[in-house]
Structure 1
Amino acid sequence: MASNNRTIKEAKVQEIKEKMQNAKSIVLTKYQGNKADEDTELRKTLREAGVEYKIYKNNLVLLAAKELGFEGLEEHLEGPVAVAFGYEDATAPARLLNEFGKNHKAIQLKAGIVEGTVYGTETIKQIAEIPSREVLIAKFLGSIKSPVSNFAYLLSAISEKKEQEA
């Protein structure tokens, strides 16, 4: 019986390790006190953004993290903790959990790992404020488009003026 239990735990640790290796970011969050319908809403929001949200035993998460060389999570793995794995957008788990937590006080960011680096609560909250990749690209393109549009308008005005003079 003990051998079977150990095998199950080893399989879970392996599963967590694989998720950690494949994720661009991992966020630990407090969730206790979240109602069932709120949890369903949160999971749906995260799933639509490509974020996987799981609840594992803290000691299994800690074992997986240590095997991968992630140090500094021990202090954040106390009490009930959920883990969000972001596979597409590195800021998505922190951003979405932080946004949801503004209206649902049970959700609180604890720590995270972004592209292999472990961050504490305050840094994860700062990362949560970074807009999505799509928003950043749109802002960048908008900032490039404005001078080009102004230049095109200037050329058009010069052309019209010369036509009027001729």
Structure 2
Amino acid sequence: MARPDKVAAVEEIAENFRGASASVVTEYRGLTMSQLTTLRRSLGDGATYRVAKNTLVKRAAEDAGVEGLEQLLVGPTAITFITGEPVDAAKALRDFARANQGLVIKGGYMDGRTLTVAEVNQLADLESREVLLSKLAGAMKGTMAKAAGLFAAPASQVARLAQALADKRAEEGGAAPAEAATDSETAS
């Protein structure tokens, strides 16, 4: 018969899997409690770092419909459940793993499929959503400015042409009376 505390733990982990947009499986061997606390803080509000027994995680993943994590659940395992921006959490994990050799990223799960270590690192290499959106907005603004310039160009060309024509007529019209005056002086 299953112990109630283990049943509750499995249900909690399964809920975390269901509510997460992504999850990253890590090994934390050799990390101190203060290092784990620092890691949890660096992940921010959009991610939860949980140390759990592999058998409980396997059952919870099965309950939540998450497949393919079994090969990652070997040795001391901790899972980061990401509810916010996956890129930010992946960056935090990667940077922490670089600084602390005790944290090893094993893989992850996102969009219904497992992720390799390389894919988690690729996710970490992406720019954040806000940066990508601002770049997109800048590109759109530049395109709109070019379009506005192209639409305004024919009208400004017509205006310049009309001004040049008016200047030419004024020159011709202004030169004619002066020539008439010199012609009358030579005739006298």
TM-score range normalised by the length of the shorter chain:
0.7 to 0.9
* Pairing 1:42–2:39 present: yes
- Unmatched tracts of structure 1, length 5 or more: none
Task: Tell me which of 115, 126, 129 is aligned to 1:130.
Answer: 126
Task: Give the aligned residue type for 2:4.
Answer: T
Task: Give the aligned residue type for 2:17.
Answer: M
* Pairing 1:71–2:62 present: no
Look up the SS of the partner of 1:67 in the other structure: helix
Look up the SS of the partner of 1:63 in the other structure: helix
- Partner deviation per Cα, 1:18-68 (whole Å, 9 max, x = no partner): 1110110111112222233332221111134x1111111111011111222
1: CA distance between counterparts of 2:90 and 2:29? 17
> RMSD over aligned Cα, in angstroms?
2.6
2: CA distance between counterparts of 1:36 and 1:6? 27
- Partner deviation per Cα, 1:72-130 (whole Å, 9 max, x = no partner): 21221111111111112233332220122222222221111112222222222222222
* Higher helix fraction (1 or 2): 2
Q: Any residues of structure 2 matched to 1:1-166 within 5 Å, and which?
A: 6-48=3-45, 50-151=46-147, 166=163
Deviation at 1:135, TM superposition (A): 1.7
2: CA distance between counterparts of 1:106 and 1:159? 67
Task: Give the aligned residue type for 1:101.
Answer: A
Structure with higher Rg: it is 2
TM-score when normalising by structure 2: 0.73
Q: Specify the alignment match of 2:167 in structure 1.
A: none
Closer/same/farther in 2, CA of residues 40 and 33 from structure 1, 3 Å limit: same
TM-score when normalising by structure 1: 0.81
CA contact (8 A) 2:14 2:64 kept: yes
CA contact (8 A) 1:90 1:115 kept: no
Q: Which moved more, 1:151-160 or 1:104-113?
A: 151-160
CA contact (8 A) 2:43 2:89 kept: yes
Instruction: Work out the percentage of aligned pairs sharing the same amino acid.
Output: 33
Equivalences, count: 162
